[in-house]
Structure 1
């Protein structure tokens, strides 16, 4: 789960980091800055996350030709995660 969540959390942070870096540069050069555009930052973060979800859906490896094998727990307590297996030809 962390493998899927961490990149999206980084995408949420990108607009905020860019804005605050820009604000710091502008402050050091003496440019007047207005208030922080929170709605735009949240909207940009949402757009980036939405685009990443769309890209995941479009470019994710498809398992349509396979058979799902559910997760199992072996007698020793070892768990075998669920996975897809390819169908045998002709079945």
Structure 2
């Protein structure tokens, strides 16, 4: 979960990083810079996060029709991770 949150935070921070990098390059070359467009940067970050959420919904595997098997600890201390298994067909 932390990996997902970190990747989304990076997507929101990407427009800010690119803007400040471009602003620094422009200042070093002697160009006059206006004020920082905060609203546009927040909007761009929100759009990137929205696109990533939609892509996750479209491309993430669907686990409906499957049964979750929780993690188990064996007597020797090994742990089998939780996973999904296909549901057995129902017999009438």
Shorter chain as denominator, the TM-score bin is 0.7 to 0.9
Residues 63 and 5 of structure 1: CA distance in aligned 2, closer, same or farther (over 3 Å): same
Give the RMSD, CA atoms, in angstroms: 2.0
TM-score by length of structure 2 reads: 0.80
After alignment, is 18-27 or 1-10 more displaced? Answer: 1-10
1:6-62 CA-to-partner distances (Å, cap 9, x unmatched) read 110110111000000100011001111100000000000000001000000000011
Give structure 1 stretches of 5+ with no counterpart: none
- Number of residue pairs the alignment of both structures matches: 89
Looking at structure 1, the residues matched to 42 and 28 of structure 2 have their Cα atoms a distance apart, in angstroms, of 25
Give structure 2 stretches of 5+ with no counterpart: none
TM-score by length of structure 1 reads: 0.81
Could you tell me how far 1:81 is from its partner in structure 2?
Answer: 6.5
Looking at structure 2, the residues matched to 38 and 81 of structure 1 have their Cα atoms a distance apart, in angstroms, of 44
